[in-house]
Amino acid sequence: MWALGDYHAFATSTVWQLGSTLVDACAIARGQRVLDVAAGTGNVAIRAAMAGTVVVASDLTPENFSSGRLAAAAAGVEIEWREADAEALPWQSGEFDVVTSCLGAIFAPDQQQVANELLRVCRTGGTIGMINFTPGGRGADFFRLLAPYAPPAPPGAAPPVLWGDEDHVRGLFGTRASLQMERRVYVERAASPEAYLDLFKQKFGPMVAIYASLAHQPDRSRALDRDFLEFAGLANTSSSQGPVEIPYEYLLLVARKGNCLKS
């Protein structure tokens, strides 16, 4: 479903600025070897490459790599693009100085296995950086909005927003890394609630898939339209009539592997 729509257009309209945030938080610097997991079209990977690093961008949806390559070329950087599952990364242990994931690896079903893999491919003393939606933020509200219309999650899959719960993250990493965690907010904007809905319906793969599944259920399709517009209206913090500004809370996680100090 992530190959549907136009993920690059969606990302550049919503979360693209978070790439720089994560690169800065991880203090990514020239000469480092960086792996970006669930990289999408490269919002983190491209910024890391611009800092002078050697970057591998991995994702389970290689259909998005062509847009990523074009964006990297426009930025004047080279990146290795590799199809890979966050639960079974195809690299040797300790191969990277920095491992990142921005609103990506959180969607893998087995969260403990993802944490294990992020730690495994990061060298001792290296850095793991993540940006994750929180259980109490608008990201969680958005997932609850979609739940009645979407296919059921795989058996045993944990909610993605648990990656934004500090206690849960401590449990995933245990004593294998020291953790720094900070809650922050980014804002998604659109010209109107209707324009915001259209962006998701046309560009965001999971919603494209949901609407396709409702093609022969026009009443449910219209109900999803109404639910989304209600969500956008309630979440909108813009003081102007028309424009939409929706703040999304996220957990910024920076983990240093090999330090057993308490977080």
Residue 263 confidence class, pLDDT cut points 50, 70, 90: very low
pLDDT at residue number 261 = 40
Say whether pLDDT at 241 is over 90.
no
Task: Identify the CATH assignment for 7-257 out of 1.10.3720.10, 3.40.50.11740, 3.40.630.30, 3.40.50.150.
Answer: 3.40.50.150
Q: Is 162 left (phi over 0), alpha (psi -120 to 50) or beta?
A: alpha
Confidence (pLDDT) at 259: 53
What is the percent of the chain with per-residue pLDDT over 70, rounded to a whole number?
A: 98
81-125 pLDDT, tens digit per residue, is 999 999 999 999 999 999 999 999 999 999 999 999 999 999 999
**What span, in angstroms and rounded, lies between the C-alpha atoms of 216 and 192?**
27
Q: What is the pLDDT of residue 238?
A: 93
pLDDT score at 153: 81
How much is the pLDDT for 151? Answer: 87
44 pLDDT above the threshold of 50: yes
Cα(13)–Cα(203) distance, rounded to whole angstroms? 10
Cβ(44)–Cβ(240) under 8 Å? no
Note the pLDDT of residue 260.
Answer: 46
The predicted pLDDT at position 200 comes to: 97
CB 104 within 8 A of CB 43: no
Record the pTM: 0.94
Round the CA-based radius of gyration of the chain to a whole number and report it: 18
Q: pLDDT for 48-86, tens place per residue?
A: 999 999 999 999 999 999 999 999 999 999 999 999 999
Domain boundaries, the chain: 7-257
Q: In the prediction, which pLDDT does 262 show?
A: 38
Q: What is the pLDDT of residues 169-221, one digit of tens each?
A: 999 999 999 999 999 999 999 999 999 999 999 999 999 999 999 999 999 99
Q: What are the C-alpha distances in Å from 131 to residues 17, 25, 28, 93, 142?
A: 12, 10, 15, 23, 17
Token duo for residue 120: 């495994």
Above 80 in pLDDT, residue 32?
yes
Average pLDDT of the residues of the chain:
95
Cα 239 from Cα 220, distance rounded (Å): 31
